[in-house]
Chains A and B, each alone.
Chain A
Amino acid sequence: MGKFVLRRLAQMLPVLLAVSLLAFALNCMGSGDTASLILRERGIEPTAEAVLQVRRELGLDRPLAVQYFSWLARAARFDFGRSFASELPVIEVIGEHFPATFVLALAATVFSLLLAVPLAVLAARFQDGWPDRAARALSVAGVTMPSFWLALMLLSLFAVQLGWVPVISGTRLKNIALPAVTIGFSYGCTYLGVLRQNLIEACAHPYMTAARARGLSRTGALLRHGLRNSLLPCVTLVGYNFGKLLSGHFAVETIFSWNGIGKFAVDSIQSKDLPVIQGYIVCVAAAYIVVNLLVDMLYFAIDPKLRLGAQKKV
């Protein structure tokens, strides 16, 4: 297990390097630009003299490699400087917005599973019947429907026409339903397709025939044996996607005014708040990598086949 984790970490190094270069590149958008941008944000006319002074203050007049390594050393400690707009430390403002995204990711994942698991079981139980056809249609709908459009439609229906929820949801927990459903729908449809396929394949296995021979009903065999075996490959998929969701859904968070880091990133790029963008890129990539690693370890822990294999090797 330890070896496995180390190898995965080693594989992630080039990714982290690429991400750090990407984030650092934002520093170099013509250093004069950055300096005058900061001055303008603070409401100061960017004269040549003022620009020079800011550049010296920020160390923008040093060679690029030096700038990169000093930036990297600070980034490794999650120090990305201060936001141009609020003048607060970047990591603080990102931390402020992160819980909202985390809760939304959780709710969306729960909804997607609530959508996918029962429907997939129904589809496999009544293969080629109408539940199956509905499931197949839904999994295509999930692929083709852009989630930002679904968000607009739901908002128009439930907030504007019916008036059940406020148009601007803020970050109050009771308003999480619409954004969670929007994000959960597209992921749920993907899971539905995968799980249905797995369940149908599982039905062909001898252990299902054995279960039926022991007197289990078709539904019982499907639930007790088929589902457990089919859910296993989905754990990885759901886990990876959860890691992706932690970066915040740009469009959905923006449409529902959900104050997560996705909306915050979009707002920051529009106001050209570069330190925030840099912090966002590095934090999100780090979170993604950590979650992926956790998912791999989880898979290791719950799949008895892998566990046995590992013991044999040792």
Chain B
Amino acid sequence: MLKELVRQKKARLGLAAVGVLLLICLLAPLLAPNDPYKVNILRKLAAPCAEFPLGTDQLGRCVLSRLIWGARLTLSSAVTATALMLLIGVPLGIAAGFCGGWVDSLIMRVTDVASSLSPSLLALAVVGLWGPSLANIVAVFAALWWAMFARVVRGAALEVMQRDYVTAAVAAGCGRLSIAVRHVLPNVLSPVVVLAALRIGTVITHLASFSFLGLGAQPPAADWGVMLSDCRPYLSTRPLMILWPGAAIMSSVLAFHLFGEGLNAALHPRREGGTSDD
């Protein structure tokens, strides 16, 4: 599968881009030329120079360093949100497909509710109750978007249950739980991995937009959404300032998009470039 992944052009690009992004996150303390939080009011809104390669923001903080540390914050929260979706969605999906009957209908009804609520509504309620924070917004997305994973996993599980190896495992006297974990789970993972890669990209955009509105990450956090909202007053004097955080968001979303599509193509070699996204 890895070989297939490397053979696809799109996938190679996506893999490389995600790799670079991960490296930036891991090496943030080494790569960032300055402290992203160090305020230097005397050098505010400085033009790019040797000390500040992309200039400084309205408080004299290094824009490049904030971008690099922002990658860390963005990626870690997007991955956390997606991991939580997986943790909720995959077991529920397997349980629904595996048990059938009333368990299935109950889980699917809850899934319906979760997928018809919009994240903005839940985000408003959560912010109203517990105040704005990045962790709350991450929880909002995890609390709703597990539904699509549950759906996909349930579908895949139903298909896997028809296979001979499951029948063989039942005949061999394996317990229900052990069949679910050892035979069904590994075989439903491939659509889940694709969906998760694509989802991370979507989550990144949404997290940034909530942070931009002041409902997610709070200043002075080095977050791309916060950076964009910081530079709104300087739209006329420093138009370039809005370029960098946006480009950072776009390129990381694109990286995960290409990665997911490439993964999909590698897993289903016959269907060229199509998505299994719902």
Contact = CB atoms under 8 A, between A and B. Distances in A.
Contact of A144 (B117, B214, B239, B250): B250
B112 A161 contact: no
B89 interface: no
Nearest to B125: A22
Contact of B116 (A15, A143, A144, A160): A15
Contact of B128 (A160, A244, A277): A277
Contact of A156 (B205, B242, B245, B254): B242
Nearest to B214: A270
A183 interface: no
B215 interface: yes
B129 to A, nearest CB: 5
B212 A251 contact: yes
A250 interface: yes
B171 interface: no
A182 interface: no
Interface in A238-288: 244, 247, 250-251, 254-255, 265-266, 269-270, 272, 274, 277, 280-281, 284-285, 288
Interface residues of A, number: 44
B121 A274 contact: no
Given A146-B209, A250-B120, A250-B213, A152 B232 contact: yes
Interface stretch (A23-31, A97-105, A111-119, A220-228): A23-31
B127 interface: yes
Contacts of B201: 143-144
Interface of A: 11-12, 14-15, 18-19, 22-23, 25-26, 29, 140, 143-149, 152-153, 155-156, 160-161, 167, 244, 247, 250-251, 254-255, 265-266, 269-270, 272, 274, 277, 280-281, 284-285, 288
Which label, helix, strand, loop or mixed, suits the secondary structure of the B interface? helix
Given A143-B257, A144-B250, A281-B121, A26 B128 contact: yes
B128 A274 contact: yes
Nearest to A11: B112
Contacts of A148: 208-209, 212, 228
Which label, helix, strand, loop or mixed, suits the secondary structure of the A interface? helix
17 contacts: A14-B112, A14-B113, A15-B112, A15-B117, A18-B113, A23-B125, A25-B125, A143-B253, A144-B250, A144-B254, A148-B212, A149-B249, A250-B209, A266-B215, A269-B124, A285-B117, A288-B118
Contact of B209 (A12, A14, A251, A284): A251
B242 A152 contact: yes
Given A144-B253, A144-B254, A19 B117 contact: yes
Nearest to A254: B213
B2 interface: no
A257 to B, nearest CB: 11
A149 B129 CA distance: 28
A274 B232 CA distance: 27
Contacts of B83: none
